Chains A and B, each alone.
Chain A
Amino acid sequence: MHLLAPETSKDRSFWTEAPDGAAVHKFSPDQSSTQPSPTALLALAPSMDHLDALEAQSIYIFREAFARLKKLALLWSLGKDSNVMIWLARKAFFGHMPFPALHVDTGKKFPEMYAFRDRYGKEWQLDLRIEPCPPLETIDPTLPPAARSAARKTEGLKLALAKYGFDGLVAGIRRDEEATRAKERVFSPRGTEGGWDVRDQPPEFWDQFNASPPPGAHLRIHPILHWTEADIWAYTKRENIPIIPLYLANGGKRYRSLGDRDITNPVVSNAASIEEILIELDGTKVPERSGRALDHETEDAFERLRVAGYL
């Protein structure tokens, strides 16, 4: 049964409801009576659970990046993934984040996001650098609207890189987000123009990373590349990491990811707590996976396998 379904359900048990109405939610540690006795937990749990393993790996990556690069910054988008990243960095460095958090600001975020940034930038004692993006008028007008908007961020990032001379940027992308990200390395070299050459990536294995960007280039560091959306939420819940309330359902809708106001749409959802988000994700994930195995792409894939001379 475990062939296609990694057992993550054990990380998703025993949660309480989130308190409602606060601008920023914090979750208290669970004292629910449904929790099994400590001895039962011990008998069931191996020395590390799934989230422990993810966390340990991310901490390892953070420490490698900090040891091997001269000038790091963390890209803080204010979203759930980058908040988990900051949390992991503070774990890695025992409560400190010894490099700046860089917010490349389009100026079009939701008010709740700015409120979150201002509060936790202080509370977490971040060295926060807010860098504006160039106005839309300066961006290639032939681009379609969403791409043109995204291009503003890319330009803003380039300006910030030039301004501070960072040689490493920590980014919160995940392999499960989209196909191209699946091919990413943990330490991913970028050209002088910030470009990514997917066909000429250096080998990366055994947690040994290529950390020598050529002159003028920088590295992207991806400490949560191996996490899934569900992992992010389960960990956020377990660690009581604050979130922006827009992620939770309000009037039958919630935001699954947060970006600029004008190009981000909520999804239909009644998930008003992280627990409910996890249940929702679980419900949508299973058919997605089993469906993939039978769809047209799969039939092509196994023909390719044969052509490649499967051993």
Chain B
Amino acid sequence: MLVPTSISATPNGTTRPQVRIVIVGHVDHGKSTLVGRLLHETGSLPEGKLEMLKAVSARRGMPFEWSFLLDALQTERDQGITIDTTQIRFRTGSRDIVLIDAPGHAEFLRNMITGASQADGALLIIDALEGVRDQTRRHGYLLHLLGVKQVAVVVNKMDRVDFSAARFAAISQEISAHLTALGVTPSAAIPISARDGDGVAERTPRIAWYHGATVVEALDALEPARPLEQLALRLPVQAIYKFDDRRILAGRIESGHLAAGDQIVVMPAGKVAKIKSVEGWPVTPINGSQTAGRSVGITLDRELFVERGDIVAHVGTSPRDTRRIRARIFWLHDKPLTTGASILIRLGTRETRAVVVAIKKAIDPGELSSVETTSIARNHVGEIDISLAQAVAADPYGDNPRTGRLVIEVNGRIAGGGLVLSVDAGQRAIPVDIVPVESALRPDERSARYRHHGAVVWLTGLPGSGKSTLARALERRLFGNGGSPVLLDGDTLRAGLNSDLGFSAADRSENIRRSM
């Protein structure tokens, strides 16, 4: 089910926080049953739906099961179009819950990691009779990997163990120890029978010994993610239009809001300006604040060099400019992603060439354990360091889910996607209107012309130790061998470019910086 916005209106005029959850656990431990029961207990089913399903079961001569409800919703997700379409919604007392769901394991992992389906919280379900199984532990690891902080443990099928408080305590202690070791602290452990309803919405007499939250109460206590409009402004520029005398920067507000008069900064260059107007059609200009999700066009109070891929932000809350990103990615291409691979990165509307400089982790979702490797195979997950050919504006995913995610393209085709874990911030302190111009020539073109690669040989030593003599001999030798050497002598520089510098520590330091 598509969820168009992160906030839904209610009849009393308030907005209810939306919380996205996943239910994980061993395949037979009762997830579908719990979902069916939750839909019923929270009054989220259409009128007559339950009765109809019961009638169908009776007609087919099979006992009704709560999991049928979830299965009946399968038609909704049969489309299988994009990654983020499989969602089921219900309401608790104060929350809109979006249950993220997927038909298979690989898809599930991909859904969870794509952020469109990023979970705010999770229920980890365990069969009271079977206890903690390998798959349970793996799912605990998955929650750790994905950074899901709010986890409630649900011990299901308590009816099979006669609602034994001791059995419940043993299981919850075992899983809590496992999760805590992974850095995930469960917020609750709840004994339930999803089939009969105990512990789901109420503490029934059969679990009279339990005094904690029910499943519905635990869901109601989950902290929602901040809505996009409450985050800092991010307007990735799609294009600059000059159809008439207006010069319009067009793009979609990914987060935050903007209005005419706002002081903005264009990243990564760091150029500042003021929004002169918000343009529209057929009515223009558009007054008032424009919020996340809107496709807008703005004009600025001065002519700046702005291009597709830049991000417009507010001064003081801008994204960082970086050439190096660590990302958690999932890989979809037949050919594994390897260290040193040349890739194309798309982040917002920016595209840039990049190189994978390191693979920090590679995880097979079937095993959910980290493997020592220098490559990430199809449908596997990993953490990589990426070096970018040009500076980009980006946010860590935790700060902004929209400008903190990227896709990787190989041969013109999307081959993977990932979340930005961290960015190495650039050095720039003050916004300036400087646009470095890249050479029109590639290094390999120069190498082909000169028939050798570039190199810098730096001779260091005490004064009078023969550096200049050696350097001149080396220059002559290289030239004689067909090379194209250039000699940069310290004293020559001091006589020219660096003639304004003395020999104080600061000036010496500056002398070296300029020479480099």
Whether the Cβ atoms of A309 and B104 lie closer than 8 Å is yes
* Segment at the B interface, from A47-55, A129-137, A151-159, A274-282: A47-55
Whether the Cβ atoms of A301 and B293 lie closer than 8 Å is no
Shortest Cβ distance from B244 into chain A, in angstroms? 8
B448: Cβ under 8 A from any A Cβ: no
Whether the Cβ atoms of A204 and B82 lie closer than 8 Å is yes
Partner of B103, one of A4, A52, A56, A305: A305
Near B by CB (< 8 A), chain A positions 12-46 give 43-46
Whether the Cβ atoms of A301 and B78 lie closer than 8 Å is yes
A260 to B76, CA, bound (A): 33
Whether the Cβ atoms of B27 and A309 lie closer than 8 Å is yes
* Segment at the B interface, from A71-79, A89-97, A108-116, A161-169: A89-97
A183: Cβ under 8 A from any B Cβ: yes
Residues on B with C-beta less than 8 A from A293 are: 49, 52, 72-73, 75
Near A by CB (< 8 A), chain B positions 219-277 give 229, 238-239, 241, 243-244, 246, 248, 250-252
A202: Cβ under 8 A from any B Cβ: yes
Closest chain B residue to A303, Cβ basis: B71
A229: Cβ under 8 A from any B Cβ: no
Shortest Cβ distance from B130 into chain A, in angstroms? 17
Closest chain B residue to A310, Cβ basis: B103
Near A by CB (< 8 A), chain B positions 450-484 give none
Residues on A with C-beta less than 8 A from B407 are: 205-206, 208
Whether the Cβ atoms of B15 and A60 lie closer than 8 Å is no
B45: Cβ under 8 A from any A Cβ: yes
Whether the Cβ atoms of B46 and A92 lie closer than 8 Å is no
Q: Known A90-B281, A298-B74; judge A63-B295 contact (CB<8 A).
A: yes
B13: Cβ under 8 A from any A Cβ: yes
A182 to B82, CA, bound (A): 10
A46 to B228, CA, bound (A): 13
B388: Cβ under 8 A from any A Cβ: no
Q: Known A210-B413, A302-B71, A305-B71; judge A3-B45 contact (CB<8 A).
A: yes
Near B by CB (< 8 A), chain A positions 284-311 give 290, 292-294, 297-299, 301-302, 304-306, 308-311
* Chain B window 34-59, contacts with chain A (Cβ cutoff 8 Å), 1 for yes, 0 for no: 00000100011111010011001000
Question: How many A-B residue pairs lie within 8 Å, measured between CB atoms?
Answer: 188
On chain B, which size bracket covers the interface? Answer: 35 or more
Whether the Cβ atoms of A206 and B74 lie closer than 8 Å is no
B300: Cβ under 8 A from any A Cβ: no
Residues on A with C-beta less than 8 A from B74 are: 298, 301-302, 304-305
Closest chain A residue to B42, Cβ basis: A3
A1 to B80, CA, bound (A): 24
A48 to B2, CA, bound (A): 15
On chain A, which size bracket covers the interface? Answer: 35 or more
* Chain B window 341-362, contacts with chain A (Cβ cutoff 8 Å), 1 for yes, 0 for no: 0000010010000000000000
B210: Cβ under 8 A from any A Cβ: no
B195: Cβ under 8 A from any A Cβ: no
B279: Cβ under 8 A from any A Cβ: yes
Whether the Cβ atoms of B295 and A60 lie closer than 8 Å is yes
Near B by CB (< 8 A), chain A positions 93-142 give 93-96, 98
Partner of B5, one of A48, A175, A208: A48
Whether the Cβ atoms of A311 and B108 lie closer than 8 Å is yes
Of A45, A57, A94, A302, chain B has the most CB atoms within 10 Å of the CB of: A94
Whether the Cβ atoms of A290 and B243 lie closer than 8 Å is no
Closest chain B residue to A90, Cβ basis: B281
Q: Known A60-B238, A204-B414, A302-B74; judge A47-B291 contact (CB<8 A).
A: yes
* Segment at the A interface, from B83-91, B424-432, B488-496, B498-506: B83-91
Residues on A with C-beta less than 8 A from B241 are: 93-94
Q: Known A1-B44, A175-B79; judge A206-B114 contact (CB<8 A).
A: yes
Whether the Cβ atoms of B105 and A309 lie closer than 8 Å is yes
Residues on A with C-beta less than 8 A from B417 are: 203, 205-206, 208
Q: Which 6 A-B pairs have the closest CB atoms?
A: A212-B412, A302-B71, A59-B295, A43-B13, A301-B74, A63-B238
Apart from A4-B76, A94-B280, what are 17 other A-B pairs with CB-CB below 8 Å? A3-B89, A3-B90, A4-B73, A5-B46, A53-B293, A64-B238, A64-B349, A94-B244, A98-B243, A182-B81, A203-B83, A205-B83, A205-B417, A290-B52, A308-B104, A311-B27, A311-B105
Pull 30 A–B residue pairs with CB atoms less than 8 Å apart, ordered by A: A1-B43, A3-B44, A3-B45, A3-B46, A4-B49, A6-B2, A10-B9, A56-B293, A60-B238, A63-B295, A64-B349, A67-B308, A91-B280, A95-B282, A98-B243, A203-B332, A210-B414, A214-B412, A226-B2, A292-B75, A293-B49, A293-B52, A294-B53, A301-B74, A305-B74, A306-B71, A310-B27, A310-B104, A311-B24, A311-B31
B interface residues, Cβ below 8 angstroms from A: 1-2, 4-5, 7-9, 13, 15, 24, 27, 31-32, 39, 43-47, 49, 52-53, 56, 68, 71-76, 78-84, 88-91, 102-105, 108, 114-116, 229, 238-239, 241, 243-244, 246, 248, 250-252, 279-282, 284, 291-295, 297, 308, 332, 346, 349, 405, 407, 409, 412-415, 417
